[in-house]
Amino acid sequence: MPYRFLLVAAMALIVGGIITLGAFASEPAVRHGDTSRSPVFGVALPEGYRDWQTISVAHEAGNNNDIRVILGNDIAMKAFRAGTLPYPDGTIIARLAWRYESSARNNAIFGRDQSFVAGDPINVQISVKDSKRFPDTDGWGYAQFENDGKANQSVALVNACYACHKKLPAASDLVFTSYSK
């Protein structure tokens, strides 16, 4: 009799464990050591993102002092052009950053310091809209990829993306960039 109880209890624990694991199956699985995806959201660097269209460009002064181009996939571009908010699921925004540098060559030609160019690359940041996959971050998943193409594995850094984006007005759907016409 006690063995039957132990057997039933063991089976209940096993079934409960399987059900619990199944509840997390829809979450992006990032295996330990997998540097192709962000550690928090499981976002990968989209293939062909360098061929996407330009949403806008920006110069970030201060600590970063970089120049950046913000690109969008076809879904993002359609939404930006139409002014569709919130952005539809499937929207992907890529932010590419380079050091903001004075161009000695160009300035010599112009006779004064007035020309700035993109220097060494810094990183690529990706934002993915998927309300089912990322319900806890208002539908957005984030990643930062370094110059070697590997996802930055700092959980604190990746979580900082949402921490800043959620400071934006809800009407912006947590996107910093506006479409440059």
Beta carbons of 149 and 35 less than 8 angstroms apart = no
DSSP one-letter code for 177: -
Q: What is the pLDDT of residues 104-123, one digit of tens each?
A: 999 999 999 999 999 999 99
Neighbours of 60 (CB within 10 A): 14
Predicted local distance difference test score (pLDDT) of residue 87: 99
Mean of the per-residue pLDDT values of the chain: 87
Say which amino acid occupies 160.
A
Tell me how far apart the alpha carbons of residues 129 and 114 are, in angstroms, rounded to a whole number. 38
List CB contacts of 180: < 8 A, sequence separation 6 or more: 54, 55, 56, 57
Nearest alpha carbon to residue 72 among 101, 92, 58, 88: 92
Predicted local distance difference test score (pLDDT) of residue 8: 41
Q: Which CATH number fits domain 33-172: 3.30.360.10, 3.50.70.20, 3.40.190.10, 3.80.30.20?
A: 3.50.70.20
Q: Where are the domains of the chain?
A: 33-172
Asked if the model's pLDDT at residue 103 lies above 60, the reply is yes
Neighbours of 1 (CB within 10 A): 5
- Name the pTM for this structure: 0.81
